[in-house]
Chain A
Amino acid sequence: MPDLSALTPGDVVAVAAGVFAVGYVAGLVRAYLRKLVWVA
């Protein structure tokens, strides 16, 4: 587990926003793929 004290608050927020964005995009892609399959 990375040491938080080595990170600035900005770094921590960037990591949090990054992992949230990855999950968000994954959810979007999966939903669109399901719609494509339904249309096909």
Chain B
Amino acid sequence: MGGRELAETCAGLVRVVLLRVLAGAAFGAMLAALLLPLTVRAQAFGPPDGVADPIHWGDFGEAELVSISTAYPVEVYFCTDGGCVMVTDAPSAPFEVELECWAAPCSVWVRELVTAPPPPASAPEEWQSAVVLAASAAERAASAAEGSRAALDVLIWAFIATLPFAGYFVGARDA
């Protein structure tokens, strides 16, 4: 085998390896693009620490009025990607609280405190403070999650940006 043939063989091998690597990267990128948002979404809806038996939970987006009717005092947790915060501790029941989700998905968890004393008939001041607390806590959680989400977005878009080149080489090989 001459020097020229040897060089061509080596170049062909390198080309094949590069194509395989690019095709694998493209497949991995698509898999990551599929799985990463799902992972983030799943973490957002996990039960908060210390809440063993939530009687109600649900997801919501943007501003939404959450109404909870129960005969007993409850603990309400508001969760985002950044974690969970207790919105209000043992308010009067039934009650309504307005929660605004700055960075969807958000979720709300409610635990009934059956051992606590019965609530008074009404306590609007406590509800109002609960709304303010929920707003500031949600804002902090959203700002904390914003940085990590932006980095994740850059990573996923960088993967996607490699896909046309990977497709180009695979297409040229298949022709």
- Number of B interface residues at 8 Å Cβ cutoff, please give it: 32
Given A26-B171, A27-B175, A28-B172: 16 more A-B contacts, CB < 8 Å? A5-B37, A8-B37, A9-B41, A12-B37, A12-B156, A23-B165, A23-B167, A23-B170, A25-B171, A27-B167, A27-B169, A27-B170, A27-B173, A27-B174, A31-B171, A31-B175
- Number of A interface residues at 8 Å Cβ cutoff, please give it: 28
Within 1-40 of A, Cβ neighbours of B (below 8 Å) are at: 1-5, 7-9, 12-13, 15-17, 19-32, 35
Asked if B33 CB lies within 8 Å of chain A CBs, one says yes
Rounded to whole angstroms, the CA-CA distance of A17 and B168 in the bound complex is 13
- B149 nearest CB neighbor, chain A only: A5
Asked if B164 CB lies within 8 Å of chain A CBs, one says yes
Q: Is the interface of A mostly helix, strand, loop or mixed?
A: helix
Given A12-B156, A16-B30, A31-B172 in contact, is the A26-B167 Cβ separation under 8 Å? yes
Report B's interface with A, CB cutoff 8 A.
Answer: 26, 29-30, 33-34, 37-38, 41, 103-104, 149, 152-154, 156-157, 159-161, 163-175
